[in-house]
Amino acid sequence: MKVEKEKQVTETETSVAESTVNSSQNEDSHTETGIEYFNGVEISKLSKKQKKKYLRSVNWNKVKKEKRKKERLKTKEKKIYAKLHGIDLGPSRKELKRVKMANSPCKISVCIDLSFDELMIDKDMAKTIKQVLRIYTLNRRAKAPMQLHLSSFNGKSEKEFSRHHGHEHWDINFHTDEYINIFPKEKLVYLSSESENNIMELEQDKIYIIGGLVDHNAHKGICYNKAVEQGIAHGKLPIEEYFWMKQRKVLTINHVFEILLYVSEGNHFKEAFEKILPKRIDKIATDNSSVDNDNSALASNETSIDNEDTIILNNDNTECDVSKSKEEMV
């Protein structure tokens, strides 16, 4: 009786999957000689788990357009509200076209190391790329953007990035090779919370490397060990100089970048931590509360952006509302 019931459920799921495919499109599915495939597997041969995933994907494609419409309306309302209340929305589209890394007064370089593809499941890889997209948005909206690089851009990272059509035209430096083969070794500084070296100021001729890895707890010390093995400099953000924190100081990729960007604008690290560190992180200010605002060697500019919004750009680097939802990214 149980076997018969399971068979009936399977047949029903197969029937639903095959009937919905004609009314919805999926970038993970394709048709060859009239046979529909999902992730390289024929629909009729999908396992129970694969069928559920396929159906979720089909259902998402059905509601995606409506969801995008609501998001665009919400963005429009926010812009109207900001205009009425004198809130800075950041640079206009015309300004974004003019502001490029090449003509930026800020020559501080940040490189995201994407060599950890094989250490992450697809879900974490998607999260990593989503954080990289956030980084790109922040840098594009800065009045003096930093020099942004992606190294080891191949494999899973390139595949995940290819979902964002036109990315090859974005104002970002893509490198298939590893950073060690791209930049002078003596100018590299790998950021790691395990390092004993506090970075108290940013240097214009240095390349600061951020590990493109989401699940740090499963690979503790991997970035630090990599820097030591390669014989390059390493350092950490000076959080403990200003705050005492209960938990391990591992931040998201985009938070690390945002802190660096804020400091590159002429602000102090302490101010950056107060502004950018997530509220959920339990931190207590230490006695070392003095702030040295003399960062005249760094470019001074402002970055204004809502932390909940992700603005991606068209091929011509103008903004378009294609904020990725959690469901789509994962």
Shared domain check, 133 and 42: no
Half-sphere CA count of 175, side-chain side, radius 13 A: 19
Shared domain check, 123 and 59: no
Shared domain check, 320 and 284: yes
Q: How many domains does the structure of the chain reveal?
A: 2
| Count of CB atoms situated within 10 Å of the CB of 131 | 20
Buried b (16+ CB within 10 A) or exposed e, 237-267: bbbeebbeeeeeeebbbbbbbbbbbbbbbbb
Identify the CATH number of the domain in which residue 276 sits.
Answer: 3.40.1280.30
Shared domain check, 311 and 179: yes
Shared domain check, 263 and 298: yes
Shared domain check, 168 and 232: yes
Question: What integer pLDDT is reported at residue 45 of this predicted model?
Answer: 81
Q: Active site includes 28?
A: no
Question: What integer pLDDT is reported at residue 248 of this predicted model?
Answer: 58
The list of the chain residues with pLDDT below 50 reads 1-27, 290-330
Residue 253 lies in a domain: yes
Report field, pTM of the whole predicted structure over 0.75: no
Residue 229 lies in a domain: yes
Question: What integer pLDDT is reported at residue 108 of this predicted model?
Answer: 96
| Count of CB atoms situated within 10 Å of the CB of 273 | 23
Shared domain check, 184 and 49: no
Euclidean distance between CA atoms 77 and 62, whole angstroms: 25
**Domain boundaries, position 128:** 88-329
Residue 314, Cβ density class (10 Å: 0-12 exposed, 13-18 middle, ≥19 buried): middle
Shared domain check, 26 and 93: no
Residue 78 lies in a domain: no
Shared domain check, 149 and 288: yes
Shared domain check, 179 and 261: yes
Euclidean distance between CA atoms 187 and 157, whole angstroms: 25
**Torsion on CA atoms 62, 68, 74, 76, rounded to nearest 10:** -140
Question: What integer pLDDT is reported at residue 167 of this predicted model?
Answer: 87
Q: What is the pLDDT of residues 294-330, one digit of tens each?
A: 443 333 333 333 333 333 334 444 344 333 433 333 3
Residue 81 lies in a domain: no
Euclidean distance between CA atoms 150 and 165, whole angstroms: 17
Q: With residue 29 as reference, give the H or E element that holds it.
A: strand 29-32
Shared domain check, 298 and 186: yes
**Catalytic residue selected from 124, 215, 309, 321:** 215
Task: Output the DSSP codes for 240-255.
Answer: GGTEEESS-----HHH
Question: What integer pLDDT is reported at residue 40 of this predicted model?
Answer: 75
Residue 143 lies in a domain: yes
Residue 75 lies in a domain: no
Shared domain check, 93 and 24: no
Question: What integer pLDDT is reported at residue 257 of this predicted model?
Answer: 97
Residue 277 lies in a domain: yes
Residue whose C-alpha is closest to residue 233's, from 181, 196, 280, 284: 196
Residue 76 lies in a domain: no
